[in-house]
Structure formats: C-alpha cells, structure tokens
Structure 1
Amino acid sequence: MILEHADIRIDPANAADFEVAIVHGLNSVIAKAQGYCGHKVNRSLESPGRYILTIFWATLEDHTVGFRQSPAFTEWRSIVGPFFLQPPVVEHMELVNQAD
C-alpha cells in the first residue's frame, strides 16, 4: 500500500468551506479512482489553515499515472484548488507499521 501525503495550506478564514469541498471531492472523485483504498484528512491545531491529506493507494502508479493523468484529477483540482494558497507538497510513503 502507498500513502500519498499532501500538505495543504489555505486561508484559515475559508476553513469551513474548504472542509466541505475536500470531503465532496474525496467522495465524488477520488474514491472512484482505480486503486483508491481510503483516505484521512487532518487539520493542524498549531497552524491554522494547514491540512494533511493522506490517501491510501494500492500502487504508486494508481496515483501518479491512473489518477494524476486522468480527467478526474482536473475535476478534483477544480473542487479544492481554488482554496490553495500554494501548490500542495505531495510525498509518497510506504506503510512500515501500524497499530489500531
């Protein structure tokens, strides 16, 4: 499993609208992508306007090729992109250990 971490910065004054938009985009666009395995969105307590989006993908290519090179990526960015103060910093990780 591949974890996509996106460090997103928005204007804190738009937080409520952004949270509605990101949930809508995740459920209506990303959740339908091939290889999508789940997601979580975390809001920073210390840095207002900072969010960490983690999307779980079956393979790296499911994100980098299957999703990023599809029309769905443009649809996703049209939903959440207007909130971004700067392009998100995205990094891919492999899960080493997890406790529930």
Structure 2
Amino acid sequence: MILELADIRIHPGQNAAFEEAIQRGLKTVIHEAKGFQGYKVNRGIENAERYVLQVFWDTLEDHTVGFRQSPAFAEWRAIVGPFFAGAPSVEHFELVAKSA
C-alpha cells in the first residue's frame, strides 16, 4: 500500500466550507478511483488553515497515473482547489512498520 501525503494550506476563515468540500470530493470523486483504499484528513492545531490529507492507494501508479491523469483529477481540483492558499505539497510513502 502507498500513502499519499498532501500538506494543504487554505485561505483564512474558510475552514467549514473547505471541510465540507474535501469530504464531498473524497466521497464522490476519489472514492471511485482505481486502487483507492481510504483516507484521513487532519486540521492543524497551531495553524487552523493547515490540513494534512492522507490517501491510501494500492500502487503509486494508481495515484500518479490512474487518478492524476484522469478527468476525475480535474473534478477533484474544481471542488477543493478554490480553497487553496497555494499549491499543496504532495509526497508518497511506503509502509516500513506499524503497530498491531
């Protein structure tokens, strides 16, 4: 399994609307993508305009090719993109160890 980690900064005062939009986008767009396994969204405590989105994929290519190069990516960005204060930082990770 691959972890996509996106560090997102939004415009001030948009938390409620962004949280609704990201959940809607995850449930209606990303949820349908090939290789999608699940997600987590966390809001910053020290900086409430910062979010960490974790999306779990079967393979790196499921995200980078199957999703990012599909029309669904444009649909996703149309839902969440207007809230971005800048381009999100996105990296991918593979599991090394975990608790039981």
The verdict on a shared fold, with TM-score over 0.5 as the criterion, is yes
2:75 match: 75
Give the distance between the partners of 1:60 and 1:27, measured in 2 at CA.
Answer: 20
Root mean square deviation, CA, Å? 0.8
Q: Partner residue of 1:16?
A: 16
Q: What does the per-residue CA deviation read over 1:44-70, in whole Å, with 9 as the maximum and x for residues that have no partner?
A: 101120000000000000000000000
1:37 counterpart residue number: 37
Q: TM-score, normalised by structure 1?
A: 0.97
> What is the identity, as a one-letter code, of the residue corresponding to 2:68?
R
Q: Which runs of 4+ in 1 moved over 2 A?
A: none
- TM-score, scaled relative to structure 2: 0.97
CA deviations 1:61-90 (Å, max 9, x no partner) are 000000000000000000000000001000
Question: What SS does structure 1 have at the residue aligned with 2:40?
Answer: strand
SS in 1 for 2:97: coil
Question: Percent identity among equivalent residues?
Answer: 63
Distance 1:40 1:12 in 2: 22
- Distance in 1 (alpha carbons) for counterparts of 2:11 and 2:85: 7
2:49 is aligned to: 49
Aligned residues: 100
What is the distance in 2 between the residues matched to 1:11 and 1:98? 34
Structure 1 unaligned blocks of 5 or more: none
Deviation at 1:98, TM superposition (A): 1.8
Letter in 2 for 1:78: A
